Amino acid sequence: MKRLLIPALIALAAGCSDNNSNSNPRPDETTPPEPEPVVNAIFEVGVVNLTNGQPLSPIALALHDDSFAAFAVGAPASAGLELLAEGGDNSQLLEEVEGRVEASGEAPLGPGGEETFVLELDGDDVSDLHLSVVSMLVNTNDAFTALNGVDVSAMEVGDTWMVNAVAYDAGTEADSEAAGTIPGPADGGEGFNAARDDAADQVTMHSGVVTSDDGLPTSVLTQMHRFDNPVARFTVTRTQ
């Protein structure tokens, strides 16, 4: 209200200095302008599984502010990330985000597969907007790939970029590759287990799987499960 009063006072003062202007009253400035229709910002995220033998667990995606990070190298994994990285269940991580938009794939994304997600904001405010995408390599103990809170606030409509993503190790489960410890189809074993028995309780990059064909006789994995970086490709486009 104060803002409206000040121009009105100025108009009055101007009127005082010019006696002939009284017959031309100014238009009523207190009428609110027509509200412009709000266009929701939309981001499309394409995911390609670049591996030979590692299905990606249902992709978890979120747009959030910089108060959230899915993980940091050298820091312990959150409970939600542990659940995702050991068992492919992204539900708890998506709860931890408390973001502006969350989404999840409905099924694992197989090797060579491609999937596109549409993230629509409520409104067009993209300030302090960050994108995280996380998914488990399911034929491993606790490997995952991710986009970790990439700043998308400067993206204009039509902007697009692509990044190749590496494999991380959640550090919550030893990489034994033993029968019964891997939830993917190579084993059908246990997924999440609350015990944290890796060398150090911290996220690092993944060292790759050894497999029974390459020096680990007790591994249920074979050469076809081996992978190298990058393991996934993310393409992000702001479409609206």
Partner 1 sequence: MKKSLSILSLLSLCSLPAGAADIDIEITNLTHGSFFTPFLVAAHADNVSLFASGEPASASLQAMAEGGDISGLVADAEAVNATLVTDPAGGLLAPGQAASTSLNTDDAPDNTRLSIVAMILPSNDGFMGLNSVEIPSEPGRYMFSVNAYDAGTEGNDEILGGGAPGDPGFPAPPPVMATSGTGGTGVAADAEGFVHIHRGVLGDADPSGGVSDIDATVHRWLNPVVRVVVTVN
Binding site for partner 1 (CB under 8 A): 73-75, 166-167, 169, 171, 174-177, 199-200, 202-208, 210, 214-218, 228-229
Show the beta-strand stretches assigned E in 67-139: 101-104, 114-120, 130-136
The β-bridge partners of 60 are 104, 134
Output 167 or 220, the one with its CB closest to partner 1: 167
Q: Which is nearer to partner 1, 123 or 180 (CB)?
A: 180
Q: How far is the CB of 172 from partner 1 (least distance, A)?
A: 12
Residues 6+ apart with CB under 8 A from 59: 47, 90, 104, 105, 109, 115, 117, 133, 134, 135
Strand locations in 130-208 (E): 130-136, 143-151, 160-165, 167-169, 204-205
Show the tokens assigned to 61: 């995606």
The H or E element that residue 46 is part of is strand 42-49
Is the Cβ of residue 100 or residue 206 nearer to partner 1 in the bound state? 206
